[in-house]
Amino acid sequence: MSATLIDGKAFAATVREKVAAHVARLKSDHGITPGLAVVLVGEDPASQVYVRSKGRQTVEAGMNSYEHKLDAGTSEADLLGLIDRLNNDPDVHGILVQLPLPKHLDEGLVTNAIDPAKDVDGFHISNVGLLGTGQKSMVPCTPLGCLMMLRAHHGDLSGMEAVVIGRSNIVGKPMAQLLLGDSCTVTIAHSRTRDLPGVVRRADIVVAAVGRPQMVQGDWIRPGATVIDVGINRIDAPEKGVNEDGSVRTRLVGDCDFESCAAVAGAITPVPGGVGPMTIACLLANTVTACCRAAGLPEPEGLTA
């Protein structure tokens, strides 16, 4: 491997320190404690882990955490009722509904019921529109984390050629908007893009968010390019043996084939320990930002787009 490793875990720790310092000042100078409400519907095991982590890190940063765990069969009306109460609760500055939701609940409807000013996920259609038109908005956590790492690694991004692989509303599209906002030349590529390797080979910055394990190969990468791997895919790892119940052990991989990409890239994020930890750090950052905006106070520097 010749690439520099961009350590998302370490970077996320520095973001959390900045958040905690800002929270301490909000408390001492203004008597305000930011509050984050996280809503989990059902018992998806991965979501339970993420929600626990969010609650723990919120408290560690000195903020108030309000966890709402609802039964998998919760009706849309009851969920919308809870969101309405949280929208009107002055102690709650950020609201997040953990995704995915059980099939009978409409994610779009639920997301758009959150007060845009408290939408720390940045998924509300108003925030999508504000970001798309270059205005102040709440920015989705994963792309915000990628942008922070890119800025820290490169400084000024202007004029750089960026290829975002993946066109999802929660990563690909907002990522492209953020890179455009930093004056990159941006291409959004996807599974139907003609000559995808050729398109990716043009890039100084590659953001892989396509959801296909190890799809991006080293010979797609321009020598020296920076590779940000957003994918978190669990694959079988027979080389690790079997579990007690006889099932094959698994491991996490990104959307990039790490070994071959790291041999060519100038810098790369690992999976795990890259973009993932930044997602929760940026959620905390967004909660402080939402709190400052609500109180009419200056926003924390370096924690927003």
Distance set, CA 244 to CA 241, 248, 249 (Å): 10, 9, 10
Task: Decide: is 120 part of the binding site for ligand LMY7XDAE (CB under 6 A).
Answer: no
Q: Which is nearer to ligand LMY7XDAE, 204 or 279 (CB)?
A: 279
- What residues from 163 to 222 belong to the interface with ligand LMY7XDAE (CB under 6 A)? none
Render the burial of 18-55: b for 16+ CB within 10 Å, e for the rest: bbbebbeebeeeeebebbbbbbbbbebeebeebbeebb
Omega within 30 of 0 (cis) for the link into 238: no
User: Which residue, judged by CB position, is nearest to ligand LMY7XDAE in the bound state?
Assistant: 276
The token pair at 189 is 């590529």
Q: How far is the CB of 7 from ligand LMY7XDAE (least distance, A)?
A: 11
166 is in an annotated binding site: yes
- 179/163 Cα distance (integer angstroms): 10
3-state secondary structure of 205: strand
Q: How far is the CB of 44 from ligand LMY7XDAE (least distance, A)?
A: 9
- Quick note: the x/- pattern for ligand LMY7XDAE over 88-107, rule CB under 6 A, is --------xxxx--------
3-state secondary structure of 97: strand
Task: Decide: is 141 part of the binding site for ligand LMY7XDAE (CB under 6 A).
Answer: yes
The Cβ of residue 170 has, within 10 Å, a number of other Cβ atoms equal to: 19
6 is in an annotated binding site: no
234 is in an annotated binding site: no
- What residues from 50 to 69 belong to the interface with ligand LMY7XDAE (CB under 6 A)? 50
Q: Which of 18, 57, 98, 204 is catalytic?
A: 98
Residue span binding ligand LMY7XDAE (CB under 6 A) among the ranges 176-184, 188-196, 209-217, 273-281: 273-281
CB 256 within 8 A of CB 208: yes
- What residues from 213 to 272 belong to the interface with ligand LMY7XDAE (CB under 6 A)? 232, 252, 271-272
Is the backbone of residue 137 left (phi > 0), alpha (psi -120 to 50) or beta?
beta
Whose tokens are 């270059």? That residue is 134
232 is in an annotated binding site: yes
Q: Which is nearer to ligand LMY7XDAE, 179 or 271 (CB)?
A: 271
Is residue 98 part of the annotated active site? The answer reads yes
Q: Which of 273, 294, 297, 299 binds ligand LMY7XDAE (CB under 6 A)?
A: 273
Task: Decide: is 287 part of the binding site for ligand LMY7XDAE (CB under 6 A).
Answer: no
Which contiguous run of DSSP H or E holds residue 251? strand 250-253
Is residue 54 part of the annotated active site? The answer reads yes
Q: Using CA of residue 145, residue 147, residue 148, residue 154, what is the dihedral sign?
A: positive
Any idea what DSSP says for residue 216?
A: B
Which contiguous run of DSSP H or E holds residue 228? strand 226-229
Task: Decide: is 145 part of the binding site for ligand LMY7XDAE (CB under 6 A).
Answer: no
Q: Which of 54, 177, 214, 229 is catalytic?
A: 54
Can you give the binding site for ligand LMY7XDAE, defined by CB under 6 A?
50, 96-99, 121, 141-142, 232, 252, 271-273, 276-277, 279-280
Enzyme catalytic residues: 54, 98, 121
